[in-house]
Chain A
Amino acid sequence: MLYREAGDFKTSYRDDSQTFPLKLDRMGYWVTLAVAFGVIPFVITDYWANAVLVPFLIYAIAALGLNILVGFGGQVSLGTGGFMAVGAYATYKLTTTFPEISLLIHILLAGGITAAVGVFFGLPSLRIKGFYLAVATLAAQFFLVWLFNKVPWFYNYSASGQITAPERTFLGYVISGPATSAPAKYLVCLAFAVALAWVARNLTRGTAGRKWMAIRDMDIAAEIIGVNPLTAKMSAFAVSSFFIGVAGALLFSIYLGAAEASETFGINKSFLVLFMVIIGGLGSIFGSFAGAAFLVVLPVFLKNVLVGAFGWPTDLAAHVELMIVGALIVFFLIVEPHGLAQLWRLTKEKLRLWPFPH
């Protein structure tokens, strides 16, 4: 009854194509942003930042990136872990070579470098599709991780083979290194996540998004109406890799503080982000956030319940947790194969009528 478009008239095409056509949605969006920027930084603890919010935001960026490629562009990729590694190692090399330039600029540059690498490994998509393309991108995953392990130049010849984030500041606040405070970590990741989500939305609602979706839905028809498949596919790979590179850079420099290619950016990461996209909902920006939240928050929540509330031993809880998460993934995909975003959409459609039957 309250949640509906009746009475919310649009008088221009600009109004009509806005992201949240419903007033209640718009209010919800602004309230969420206000709480995220205005309230949470003051109450956040180390535990909440490190266990829940920071990884959630970082994986949401990675899921957004992969969703642009898989969900909007229709190109399957299993190279996410490798591309995150490119972002992380590029940030490390840049910030150790040019320490005087802000880390935030280096993170964006690292995204750009990842975009270039992504375009290179996306070239096979011009010839192959589907599972075959997935296997081709798997090559990127293994090659990149191997490269960062084998060439000492990438980790500045450190004895451990690890890269460690040096201390960097922004406006006087430490944002990288062991001394970083929880609010600083959170705010940097939040700023990137919000800005990139906005960029993703802009791209997918306009010309670029239509080109990607046209190629996804029917590539031959897309070419006949004038979409150049080369630029459409390569731009999808570039934008997607940019997002994933930024996520990798944040994961290393802000969140973990140290990384080792095969451990931090292994094939598990590729699958994790792909699962987030599938569970969240292909071709949905909200879904990227929902999927990331599901796979980041749920394990923490289960652990707290099992260990904290039931008093189970930690190792037992860890195994049961995996089983429950797995079962829930299967359950959700059976209930709604199009992911959490579709569930949310259906809920909203029901809400428009509620509490009336018609």
Chain B
Amino acid sequence: MSPTSQTILSELAPPPAAPAPSADGYVTADGRKIGGVLMDLRHITLRFGGVTAIKDISFDIREGEIRAIIGPNGAGKSSMMNVMSGFYVPQEGEVWFRGAKRPPMRPYQVARQGLARTFQNIALFDGMSVLDNIMTGRLTMMKSSLLEQALWWGRAEAEETRHREQVEKIIDFLEIQNIRKTPVGRLPYGLKKRVELARALAAEPKLLMLDEPMAGMNVEEKEDMSRFILDVNDEFGTTIALIEHDMGVVMDLSDRVVVMDYGRKIGDGTPDEVRNNQEVIDAYLGVAHD
């Protein structure tokens, strides 16, 4: 059977029955149990002056899920992630997290609720070592006072050792043991992306947001990163929201996909549903205007 006929056959076959997300979740094709709604975005509209970056978008992210946000350049994906992480405050709409509406708050307060993210353009602390960078991921859990730290007494030292143990687990997990004392500024791009993931993981987030984790990587680095993302989801049960341009990666990794174009949501569902959505195909391939 030629590859072409295979493709045709697979297109003829009906897409697998869409899991109907109910209040208490659903089971994915590969048998993972997805829980209830972790983050619910309701009618989000975000404007910058006269430009409307996001128009009335609603979707939810469920516990244990890998949720992808895709769309052509300028679709508003990163703006959406900035809304989720509290960096932008939308003009309209509500963000619900773990069953409660999020009041207006600063990004550092949002982080303390259990959200962590990586950035499209790496945002590591260049002057610090890999270890220190990952340790900053745990800053929200540090309880010792300035005086205790100054005298390196009481909680300060115990805390440092305890959190170091956790950070070492993540370093092992992401296979970056050999660079732990290297200043981040000296690392190549692919490793920086990995360190950034480590820093986000160190915060033990309820929801991990990855903004283009594979941008600018070669095939092997992408495979590594995909493996880490799946492992994180599998081993720690972390819910992941993901923006990515590599369609192969998105379709393989994610459980459900939101498609955005020009700030609107044009598709939402399993990878197969989205792939067969006419509006999505039009947005990606273009459509003839007559």
Where the two chains meet, the residues of A that have a C-beta atom closer than 8 Å to any C-beta of B are 12-14, 17, 199, 202-203, 206-208, 210-211, 213-214, 216-218, 220-229, 235, 239, 283
Contacts and interface: CB of A to CB of B under 8 A. Distances in A.
Nearest to A14: B161
15 contacts: A17-B160, A202-B150, A206-B156, A206-B160, A207-B149, A210-B128, A210-B136, A217-B126, A218-B124, A221-B125, A222-B136, A224-B110, A225-B111, A227-B108, A228-B108
B139 A218 contact: no
Interface stretch (B112-120, B245-253, B273-281): B112-120
A338 B107 CA distance: 33
Contacts of B119: 221
A224 B85 contact: yes
Interface stretch (B38-46, B61-69, B140-148): B140-148
Contacts of A202: 149-152, 156
B92 interface: no
Contacts, number: 106
Contacts of A207: 139, 142, 144, 149, 156, 159-160
Nearest to A74: B127
B123 to A, nearest CB: 4
- Interface range, B side: 35 or more
Contacts of A283: 127
A225 B126 CA distance: 15
Contact of B117 (A13, A210, A224, A235): A224
A13 B165 CA distance: 8
B201 to A, nearest CB: 12
A210 B139 CA distance: 8
B146 A239 contact: yes
B157 interface: yes
B272 interface: no
A53 B266 CA distance: 73
Nearest to A71: B127
B147 to A, nearest CB: 10
B109 to A, nearest CB: 8
A211 B150 CA distance: 14
A280 B144 CA distance: 31
Across the A-B interface, the 7 shortest Cβ-Cβ residue pairs: A226-B111, A221-B123, A217-B125, A226-B140, A202-B152, A207-B142, A13-B164
Contacts of A224: 85-87, 107-108, 110-111, 117, 123
A210 B124 CA distance: 12
Given A13-B160, A213-B125, 13 more contacts: A211-B136, A213-B127, A213-B132, A214-B139, A216-B125, A222-B136, A224-B108, A224-B110, A225-B108, A225-B136, A226-B111, A228-B106, A229-B108
Nearest to B159: A207
A226 B139 contact: yes
Given A202-B151, A202-B156, A218 B125 contact: yes
Interface in B88-140: 106-108, 110-112, 116-117, 119, 123-128, 132, 135-137, 139-140
B107 A223 contact: yes
Contacts of B149: 202-203, 206-208
B123 A218 contact: yes
A214 B136 contact: yes
Contacts of B142: 207
Contact of A17 (B117, B164, B200): B164
A213 B184 CA distance: 13
A222 B146 CA distance: 19
Interface string B202-236: 01000000000000000000000000000000000
A225 B112 CA distance: 8
Contacts of B77: none
B174 to A, nearest CB: 17
Contacts of B110: 224
B194 interface: no
A206 B153 CA distance: 12
